[in-house]
Amino acid sequence: MCAFESNTLPQARAYYWKKVKMNSLNKINGSALKQDIERTADFGAVDCAEGRGRTVLPGTISNGQARSYLIERMTATGLETRIDAVGNISGRWSPPSADDDASPVVAGSHLDSVPEGGIFDGPLGVYAALESVRAIKDSDLTVTQPIEVVCFTGEEGTRFADGVLGSSVAAGNLSIQEALSLSDGNQTLEQALEHIGCKGHGRLDASNWKAWFELHVEQGKRLERKDVPVGIVSSITGTTRCHITFEGESNHAGTTPMTDRQDALTAASEFIVALESTAQNIATNESESAVATVGSLSVAPGATNVVPGSVELSVDIRDVDATVIERLIDTIEQTCNRIEQERNVNTEIERGYDVVPQPMTEQLSQRLRTAAQQCDIEPISLHSGAGHDTMKIAEVTDVGMLFARSRGGYSHSPRERTDWDDCTVATQVLATAIAETAGADLKQCAVDKGR
């Protein structure tokens, strides 16, 4: 573990709620939240010069340690814990005032990470949910619905699946058997979960939940630029990926004249630049969340003295508007047709991955907004360019999502940072929304802000 000062950046201002109670919900215990996130950061910790990182792939020993610690903390909070067949963990609080059969209000996130990922991506959402339950329990509030804290298996897509594995099972998109038989080439998910003692029974069924909330780090710079600690997510972008092949003809780089070439790489290059230009145009004039990326390319035969005969590349397109994604796909087809004519090459497009854009539930977004205002924050509304478990849960029940400000926009890196004060205030917002959704009547305290 490298030495790392965790909260050295200046704060824009102290939130008023830190000094005065704004409503009848207790203050979030920021030190307990920090302690849980820092303890979780010890599992799979990686040494690095840039900051504090962790490598916690699903079903590994470090993942097992992070899970055990969570269960320990849930039990200490008095939650009834359960692990389902694919390793999703839930901790339930159903006080005497709640109807035990009523649909629970659920919040959480994930504990797995990418290789050398950050310490906030996932754990913040899990421990913010747990800390919310602690604050609600200790407040003089009456809730009518049970509240659950959930940690999903394999959100990041680094092992066994492309991502959102546990939440896909909870949403009914993937069967338990299909999930358990997924393999990383050496071990199936079932074997890995058994190995770390995290294979339970049954299925966490999100369609029974009254609502789902997730707090996550923003992983971008929008909140920092606006100097706001909390943002309310309006929607999660859809993603479409295509695999495109350009077939030309390999030939001698010295003896093939420039007028007589079928260069697959120059054709692919023209395509990439045209796609960037179209996406920039759309992002500037129509939908600012639209993005298109060519992130991988392979050239054959890949020799310095041979005109490239074949190129394979992948395109990743995202937007909150499905029609914009379709328009970008149309452009890709038209561009490929034009390049075929002009450069005497063949192209083939294979559309392999489609996740539709997922809007959040307006009523819950509004509740989060009001909760933020009660914490003396005017939150901004923003979309999520990354996928999250919430997009799966949105298919079966109402969802609300909020972001905490990231420092420098770094994520999936040890440089990922969110100030502890921002973690605490975002958790206060989350707790307020959870309490209200669970039927608590949060009375506003009369506060004279004097400013």
CB atoms within 10 A of CB 147: 27
Residue whose CB is less far from Zn ion, 82 or 216 = 216
Which residue in the block uniquely carries the two structure tokens 């629970």?
104
Tell me: does residue 122 bind Zn ion (CB under 5 A): yes
Task: Classify strands 346-355 and 238-247 as parallel, antiparallel or unpaired.
Answer: antiparallel
- The least distance separating Zn ion from the CB of residue 123, rounded to whole angstroms, comes to 9
- The least distance separating Zn ion from the CB of residue 386, rounded to whole angstroms, comes to 7
Binding track over 203-242 against Zn ion, x by CB under 5 A: ----------------------------------------
b/e burial code for range 364-382 (CB count within 10 A of at least 16 → b): bbebbbebbebbbbebbeb
Residue whose CB is less far from Zn ion, 195 or 415 = 415
Residue whose CB is less far from Zn ion, 167 or 250 = 167
Nearest Cα to 70, choosing from 83, 60, 57? 83
Tokens representing 107? 């919040």
Which single residue brings its beta carbon nearest to Zn ion? 121
- The least distance separating Zn ion from the CB of residue 121, rounded to whole angstroms, comes to 4
| Binding-site member from 121, 190, 416, 419 for Zn ion (CB under 5 A) | 121
Return d(Cα 89, Cα 99) in angstroms, integer.
22
Residue whose CB is less far from Zn ion, 219 or 269 = 219
- The least distance separating Zn ion from the CB of residue 155, rounded to whole angstroms, comes to 6
Residue whose CB is less far from Zn ion, 190 or 214 = 214
Binding track over 78-117 against Zn ion, x by CB under 5 A: ----------------------------------------
Contact 250, 308 (CB under 8 A): yes
| Interface with Zn ion: number of residues (CB under 5 A) | 2
- The least distance separating Zn ion from the CB of residue 120, rounded to whole angstroms, comes to 9
Site residues for Zn ion, window 374-413 (CB under 5 A)?
A: none
- The least distance separating Zn ion from the CB of residue 416, rounded to whole angstroms, comes to 10
What do you get for the CA distance between the two ends of the chain, in Å?
44
The DSSP secondary-structure symbol of 197 reads: T
b/e burial code for range 253-282 (CB count within 10 A of at least 16 → b): eeebeeeebbbbbbbbbbbbebbeebbeeb
Residues near Zn ion (CB under 5 A) are 121-122
